[in-house]
Chains A and B, each alone.
Chain A
């Protein structure tokens, strides 16, 4: 666990207190602060990655951090492909990590 939230007490810019929110990530409850992005909440909880790629299933998390690379996409309340680094977390959000397998054989003909 190396990514983390800077403790407000140590922070030279002195963020004011904000409300605690809680979201569900693949069924697990994760708490964060109002105003954090989903990526911010996940990274602050020590998660370095959440998506798995379609090709070799390798893990991905935040890469560009500004909404350009789409590596960090998650499903939010049923909506797929939401950039976690862009969407603010809302209390009660249901987050599911994405692992979209490529189409395979054995489909109805």
Chain B
């Protein structure tokens, strides 16, 4: 490391973060790569742990060899420091840079090691999580997000059920169904909320524009082939509108949905299940980007320029926090952002392929939204007693009632008065749904609708905070006594 080599910090070791770290190293930076998990790969390449390695991990993954080579390259490079089990819990903004606060140790541990990093450039690649719209009974054990089924299958080899329904919206339902089938479960159906006409509208026009996205098409075709092979019924224009059971899910109600995703009365059908996996898309994990001061676009993603730089000085973003475009898009965005964070330019030849790929896959994100984006009719499947906020057990009726009684347009006030979004997940599960429900029952736009602002990005023990204070006090006293 020379005095000139910039220090680049990459947060998140999924496709975008790995590509960013590799590109930054390639451009001459000294890189630190952090991930909250104890292995690299993110949710996309989640795999069995070292304690229980798989002989044929590649069977479960797309691009597994690419991951292995990225990982090997970074692990073998002295210019890259990899820190796993590293939870970024806060980011401080200073006038021209940010200070990233990290706790290193077991998740939600008690005496994790503290580290504060002030890099020359920061690349955020924190990814996204499933967005599951609330429906009656969605809090029952046995109802999972699609990501949970995937994570348990890939990271644990746990099958969530024997008779399973997959529902929601988007191409991600296919790999979820495929990996469930690979656990030996019977997938009784995949129910895609969008209707065929809308799917065609999103995916079919100008197909030549997607020619470059060959891998993406291959990936989807691969899922489809496996789906045909497994004889999993795939129905469009249907949704799971309720889950039933006592202490766990026993059945779901599936109904036909109109173009607006509003259930059509009389089309309900009950299916006995022991698990159901529901995802209606993805929510970007924005708390660190918001904490770093990055501006968001109208759709609630981090705004980036051609270099992958955000509105915050020295802060770059890549992957699903900038748009939901899939792993190939994330790899391309990561390579560009990492290269530029290290001082390179978007026009540099070394990243020309990534820049081209990024342009190709950006089309994918727009099509995804056009074909599968959430439409407002979903609120019609809510009942009064449907939980909206899972943590604080706030029902649809309570939420709407508070909005009507207080005639308040303040999201923060409504949250404080109902506690919706104020529980331990800090609105990660319900935030956007609460916002949509309240927008529908208030006259104007909601004020102070800062759903993604969470200055404490992950819970931190008070003892860990206090230790930092006492250490500072001790150092202060030592300095005073020595001077």
Interface positions of A (Cβ within 8 A of B): 2-6, 10-16, 18-19, 33-37, 39-40, 43-44, 48-49, 53-56, 58-71, 73, 76, 79, 81-83, 85-88
Report which of A48, A59, A69 forms a contact with B428, defined as CB distance below 8 A: A69
Of chain A, the residue at the smallest CB distance from B246 is: A59
A-B pairs with beta carbons under 8 Å apart, 11 shown:
A14-B54, A16-B54, A19-B51, A33-B51, A49-B247, A63-B144, A63-B429, A64-B130, A68-B428, A73-B108, A82-B108
**Cβ of B143: which chain A residues have Cβ within 8 Å of it?**
63
B183 at the interface (CB under 8 A from A): yes
CB distance A66 to B151 under 8 Å?
yes
Please list the 8 inter-chain residue pairs (A to B) with the smallest Cβ-Cβ separation, ordered nearest first. A65-B148, A35-B51, A2-B274, A55-B393, A49-B141, A35-B49, A86-B107, A40-B156
**Cβ of A88: which chain B residues have Cβ within 8 Å of it?**
38, 49, 51, 106
Asked whether A59 and B248 contact (CB < 8 A) given A15-B48, A16-B54, A85-B151, the answer is yes
**Cβ of A48: which chain B residues have Cβ within 8 Å of it?**
141-142, 247-248
Asked whether A2 and B161 contact (CB < 8 A) given A53-B393, A65-B152, the answer is yes
Report which of B52, B151, B391 forms a contact with A16, defined as CB distance below 8 A: B52
Interface majority SS on B: helix, strand, loop or mixed?
Answer: loop
Interface majority SS on A: helix, strand, loop or mixed?
Answer: loop
Report which of A56, A70, A81 forms a contact with B393, defined as CB distance below 8 A: A56
CB distance A36 to B156 under 8 Å?
yes
Shortest Cβ gap from B8 to chain A (Å): 25
Shortest Cβ gap from B394 to chain A (Å): 9
Shortest Cβ gap from A100 to chain B (Å): 10
CB distance B156 to A37 under 8 Å?
yes
Pair count A-B, CB < 8 A: 173
Of chain A, the residue at the smallest CB distance from B46 is: A66
Asked whether A82 and B156 contact (CB < 8 A) given A14-B56, A65-B149, A68-B129, the answer is no
Of chain A, the residue at the smallest CB distance from B143 is: A63
CB distance A63 to B275 under 8 Å?
no
Asked whether A3 and B247 contact (CB < 8 A) given A14-B55, A48-B141, the answer is no
Interface positions of B (Cβ within 8 A of A): 36-38, 43, 48-57, 59-60, 106-110, 129-130, 139, 141-145, 147-152, 155-163, 182-184, 247-248, 274-275, 285, 390-393, 423-425, 428-429, 459, 461
Of chain A, the residue at the smallest CB distance from B58 is: A13
CA distance A54 to B392 in the complex (A): 8
CB distance A62 to B144 under 8 Å?
yes
**Cβ of B43: which chain A residues have Cβ within 8 Å of it?**
66
CA distance A16 to B57 in the complex (A): 11
